Each structure stands twice: as C-alpha cells, then as structure tokens.
Amino acid sequence: ETGVTQTPRHLVMGMTNKKSLKCEQHLGHNAMYWYKQSAKKPLELMFVYNFKEQTENNSVPSRFSPECPNSSHLFLHLHTLQPEDSALYLCASSRRDSTDTQYFGPGTRLTVL
Amino acid sequence: TQLLEQSPQFLSIQEGENLTVYCNSSSVFSSLQWYRQEPGEGPVLLVTVVTGGEVKKLKRLTFQFGDARKDSSLHITAAQPGDTGLYLCAGEFQAGTALIFGKGTTLSVSS
C-alpha cells in the first residue's frame, strides 16, 4: 500500500549463513535507504543511495553489504552476522528534493541465532 | 551531533483523553516529519511541516511547527485505541540531507 515492498518479512539465520534482503519501490523515487531499528534505540541510518550511487555509509560493519542495481531496487547482503544484529531492517525511498519525505516498507524482522 | 529529543518516551492513557507529544532540538530544521509505526510494520508518514508556526490537522491529530523551526508538537484529541503505536518525529537539518529520527513516543490507549 505504501509503494515500498520488502522481502522476506521474517528471516532467521545462523551466524555462518549468507542471506539477502530485498527492497523495491514503485513510487518513482531516486533515493533509497536502509535503516536498522533495535528495541529502545532510534532508527539508525545505515546506507543511502541516490540515483544508484551510494552517498552515505554510517560506519556500518562490512558484514552488511548493500547493492543498488537501479533506482527501484535495493538489496542488503548479509554474511557472518552476530546475534546483536537481530533487529527490524527497514527500507525507505524518497525524491531527495527540498523536503526529504521518506516512505517506508514494512521491514524485515531478522533474528540471528 | 544534532540531537532530536522526543518526550515523553512512553504514554499510557484511557480512551477519550487528550495528549501531546513533543519533539525538540537546539538546531533549526528545514523540515520535520511525523510518522506512526505499528508493531512489526514500517513507519507511516503522517505529516510534513516546513514553515515556522505552521499548524496542520489530520482528523483528531494536530501538528504544530515552532516559530523558530526548532521544535514541534503532536496533539491528539479524544484518543482512541486505534491511535496506539510508536510516534516518531524526524528532522531534516539541511535540505537534501538525511533525516535524523527521534527515539519515539510509545502510546498506548486503552478502552
């Protein structure tokens, strides 16, 4: 309904697994974002892509690897994660113009065992 | 570091009561947004304010942007159980820069 979809909605993985999160936006926006939301913490911006180019990387560990093949798709590749990486991972998109109104997907609830 | 403080952090009220949530910073926002998030879902945009002193209404929700564009408030009149959720404010300190989010206010409205 919001125009931003995320798959899978839930993911359980072991620390040695490799998995990917997918985000797709149908709003014609040029910027896409990955956020991490943990309990009792503010939303943490992880990565920003504008016109497929990464413009921000907020000191995210290399075990998180983003990929943006075009303005409508964004991936987050995960490998050798830690239990503390368990969180809700949210994707958002925006026009990135004078007001950066962001539209969020439903998120992927990730549990790392 | 530009911080964005929200208060209160938690609010538990009865149906029919009024409430106000605050969002404050020592810096000036170029724009500010309010979102509502339900458990297990992503935040949903409620409103964007850009002009100092601006007031916007969305049914029983009233949003106000401070004259100096450093603070904002969300007032809910006659709260209903359906208003339960996490309310987030997010500010853009410079046009074109990434949003900074507050920690949110968790609202619980019981019938």
Of A48, A98, A107, the CB nearest to B98: A48
C-alpha span between A48 and A78 (Å, rounded): 17
Task: Report chain B residues whose CB lies below 8 A from the CB of A48.
Answer: 98
What span, in angstroms and rounded, lies between the C-alpha atoms of A101 and B5?
A: 19
- Say yes or no for a CB contact (<8 Å) between B99 and A100: yes
What are the strands of the beta sheet with B5-7, ordered from one edge? Answer: B5-7, B19-24, B71-76, B61-65, B55-58
Chain B residue closest to A2 (CA)?
A: B44
DSSP state of A51: T
- Cis peptide leading into A8, omega within 30 of 0? yes
- What strands, in cross-sheet order, belong to the sheet with A73-79? A4-7, A18-25, A73-79, A64-70
Contact B82/B37 with Cβ under 8 angstroms?
no
Partner-chain residue, chosen from B31, B44, B97, that has the shortest CB–CB distance to A2: B44
What is the chain B residue with the closest CA to A100?
Answer: B96
A101 touches chain B (CB under 8 A): yes
pLDDT digits (tens, 9 = 90+) for A6-47: 999 999 999 888 999 999 999 999 999 999 999 878 889 999
pLDDT tens by residue, B2-28:
578 999 999 999 999 999 999 999 989
Distance from the Cα of A96 to chain B's closest Cα (Å) equals 6
Nearest to A98 among B42, B90, B95 (CB): B95
Q: List, for residues B78-104, the tens digit of each pLDDT value.
A: 999 999 999 999 998 877 677 889 999
**The Cα angle at residue A79 between residues A74 and A80, in degrees rounded to 5:** 155
**B43-67 residue pLDDT tens:** 999 999 999 999 999 999 999 999 9
Are A43 and B91 spatial neighbours (Cβ–Cβ below 8 Å)? no
Kindly state whether A74 is in contact with chain B, defined as any CB-CB distance less than 8 angstroms.
no
Flag whether pLDDT at A1 surpasses 60.
no
Measured in angstroms, the CA of A55 and the nearest CA of chain B are apart by: 10
Tell me the β-bridge partners of B105: B87
- A53 pLDDT above the threshold of 70: yes
Sort out which chain B residues have CB atoms less than 8 A from A104's CB and list them. Answer: 35, 42-44
